[in-house]
Structure 1
Amino acid sequence: MNFPSLLGVVLLVLLVVSAFLLSAAVFLTGLWGLLLALRQPTLPPFFQSHRRRMAAWGAVGMAVSGGLLGMATWRSAELRAQLLCQRRLKAMAAALHRYTLVHHRFPQAERWCDALREMDPGLNFRCPLDKGSVCSYAFNRFLSGAPAEVAKRPMPFIVIFESDARRWNAADGGESWPKRERHGSKRGEGGLGWNNVVLSTFEVVQARGEIPQQTSLWQPKEEQE
């Protein structure tokens, strides 16, 4: 995991923990006020005269705490999905690396999923945030059957990427790049989120911006010239 990704995880964890603590404090305060208001015979005169206000504040406090808990739960679920997507891509990257070591070339684009599954039968090809998809990723068609030596070139390029093709053994040159980013708190808002990719260095990184238009990220340098 690169530094920006690690920093994002730490910030999200802090946000979730803070939301839980704040919601617990608000909930307990609201519950205390509500109980005091309901037990009016035992209250001092000041509290008895303000029991309706206290009951209202108690109800508001409990509602706010419920909202904070819901937000924290949603954010923690989203964080888990993001990490799970990266973990699945790392497993694919490891299987791809083993494939290139054994066969000395990249798999054929039309059967890359099958080839990687032969290396690791336990691979999962679906991003948790891509509902109802058989395969959430695609293979760079420019690397179909390419010699493994191309991975040693100085300029890294994309090998596997998140895709809207949503089919088994999907492969193209970036045409199926998701129109809406799948990850990040502002995913789908004009490039403010990100998609995960596997590079030719067999690393999993976060890709932002106009990735499909950057030819150097898809084709090995010699093929561009």
Structure 2
Amino acid sequence: MEGVTDGIRDIDLTNEITLSQLKDLTGLPNALIVTNVADAIFSDAQAKVEFERSFMEYDANADISYLKSFRRARIIFTSPITAAKARIHLDGTSHFDKQIRCYFAQPLDDDNMESSPNLELPAPHRQFLISPPASPPVGWEPVPEAEPVINYDLLAALANLAPGEAHEVHPPSDKHPGIVVHICEDPVGYATRPKLQQTTCPVRKS
């Protein structure tokens, strides 16, 4: 509804509305969602009265319901015109040190409400992205894995490595650097290092 809400700013709602301008407002809902509502409005009765008075100046019969957990309020007006007036003039205003934002509520589909009072599941447009298909498509065949490439010259060079010496495994070229492996000698005392003792299992009592 952003494109619609931007278009209503070009209409002078303070004066008499022409028929062409009224046609532009027919697609608007008659309800607003107010966000960033101050906590004092939910707990203080006087603060709630002042908050409701600011919206009832545009429609004395407006119905206001509160969503404390979300710090929001839903206001249903008698017509889209009064809802548009309140949205234009009160959006961004400060109430008890909180700058509220006013948005048009998404209108409900009357056809679906008449057939079923419950919300319908969304259309499965992207259901294929949530879970894979139960079976592969027709004509699908698995691709055989390629055989691994074994460099026997590299294996032979690694087998001939000796500790304490530098071995050129691959000579350098114009496009690739050379590979030189330096073999470390065995550390002193490695063979005499004590082994870790395994923890014995407890004896099971019969």
TM-score, normalization by structure 1: 0.18
Instruction: Name whichever structure is richer in strand by fraction.
Output: 2
Bigger-Rg structure (1/2): 2
Instruction: Name whichever structure is richer in helix by fraction.
Output: 1
